[in-house]
Amino acid sequence: MKSAIVNLQTILTGDWRDPIAKGDSILMADGKITSIGTASADAVAACDVVIDADKATALPGFIDSQVHLTFGDYTPRQKTVGFLDSYVHGGTTTSISASEVHVPGRPKDPEGVKALAVAAFKCFEHYRPGGMRVYGGSVILEPGLVEADFKEIADKGVWLAKAGFGAVKTPFDYVPMISWAKKHGMITTVHTGGSSIPGSSGIWADHLLAMQPHVSFHVNGGPVAMPDADFPRMIHESQIALQVCTAGNLRTTLLLGDMIRQADQFDRFLIATDTPTGSGIMPLGMMYTITHLASLTDMPVEWAIAAATGNNAKVYRLNSGFLRVGCDADVLVLDACVGGSKSTALDAMRNGDIAAVGAVVTDGVPRFVGRSRNTPAPMKRIRVSQNRVPQDFGLVAH
């Protein structure tokens, strides 16, 4: 499919260093972005679907780098079907597993955790709920795993490993397992802060500095934050990516946002939701954390958006998260909400308001155009102006 978004006022790249792209159009084909700038009339006319943005804002789809998946679009923790499809309506186009720890009766022996990770990876390899790209299969680090186990599952495609829920005597026992996972090409992640479920351990700076994972999950608390004194240690004594989550502690989210900019380490700042957990299901979670940072600190909203898009993509080695030629064609069209006091999406988020999701495109395919079922309607008339495929991309009103 060839698709286009035209008549844009602003195009955000997802790169905090160079956040605004020139032009008013995005062309896509075969799931990739083929052009950003000003498209010719002939190039637009050759597209199967054209979205007229009516001077709204385009940006990369949000990458939620901490979602507690199980199998399919179902969360047993909240007994809810269809939550991933609903997250697409909040602008999340990619979800990354925080491990399948919520699978009822999950295995805890080495063979069981390996099988669980491989099964989840395979189940989500081609399944796209609501059009979302889902990276499932994060092996839960448990006592008894040896280096050969990591090679075995890495050879089967598993590329994520999670520490924090295993039956270890002390979090320091994760150190060799993290090292083995990294040796075999996996992205390693670690629960951070107080214990989140019965049987798990609190993990703080001393443990993380010994482990040296790629990502410190919910460093602002999941839901309980580590002590304030640990934050400067994490920034200045490591290169670990520091992820803040909607389901965590808002005060420490804002604290870390300021500290990491002062240290000129913003590439390491990531946004996620850490849902569905005890905090529930949050289709607009990514948007809320962006607006909190943009309205309650002096962080530029373009930077907060980059923390939810391009920064995640860099750390997790994804081809999404940026609006660049050759990247995956996962694009949002946002606007200020009807009834708000601002007239653009970026001004609305700076004001602390969510933005209206006016269209979501994933893999170059429009998933809906006009309005989201989870936000108020956009002020501008975002619509399909050309359509050669037998599908109506609009949604029935609430």
% of residues, the chain, pLDDT over 70: 97
**CA atoms in the 13 A half-sphere facing the CB of 216:** 32
Bridge partners (DSSP) of residue 211 are none
Give the model's confidence band at 199: pLDDT under 50 very low, under 70 low, under 90 confident, else very high.
Answer: low
Nearest-angstrom CA–CA distance, 100 and 67: 9
pLDDT tens string 308-363: 999 999 999 999 999 999 999 999 999 999 999 999 999 999 999 999 999 999 99
Nearest-angstrom CA–CA distance, 389 and 243: 40
% of residues, the chain, pLDDT over 90: 93
pLDDT of 278 > 90? The answer is no
Write out the two tokens for 244: 């803040």
Write out the two tokens for 94: 């990619």
173: buried, middle or exposed (CB in 10 Å: 19+, 13-18, 0-12)? middle
pLDDT of 1 > 60? The answer is yes
134: buried, middle or exposed (CB in 10 Å: 19+, 13-18, 0-12)? buried
pLDDT of 196 > 90? The answer is no
Nearest-angstrom CA–CA distance, 142 and 139: 9
Nearest-angstrom CA–CA distance, 272 and 371: 23
Does 2.30.40.10 match the CATH number of domain 2-59+322-387?
Answer: yes
Q: Where are the domains of the chain?
A: 2-59+322-387, 62-283
Q: What average pLDDT does this structure show over 266-276?
A: 97
Q: Distance between the two ends of the chain, CA-based, in angstroms?
A: 29
In terms of Cα–Cα distance, which of 45, 214, 209 is closest to 138? 214
pLDDT of 127 > 90? The answer is yes
| Residue that the structure tokens 């700038």 belong to | 37
Amino acid identity, position 293: L
Give the model's confidence band at 197: pLDDT under 50 very low, under 70 low, under 90 confident, else very high.
Answer: low
* Dihedral angle, C-alpha 130, 271, 16, 367, nearest 10 °: 10
| Share in percent of the chain as helix, strand, coil (round to 5) | 30, 25, 45
Does 3.20.20.140 match the CATH number of domain 62-283?
Answer: yes
pTM of the predicted structure, to 2 decimals: 0.96
List Cα–Cα distances, 82 to 41, 78, 79, 85, in angstroms. Answer: 39, 11, 10, 5
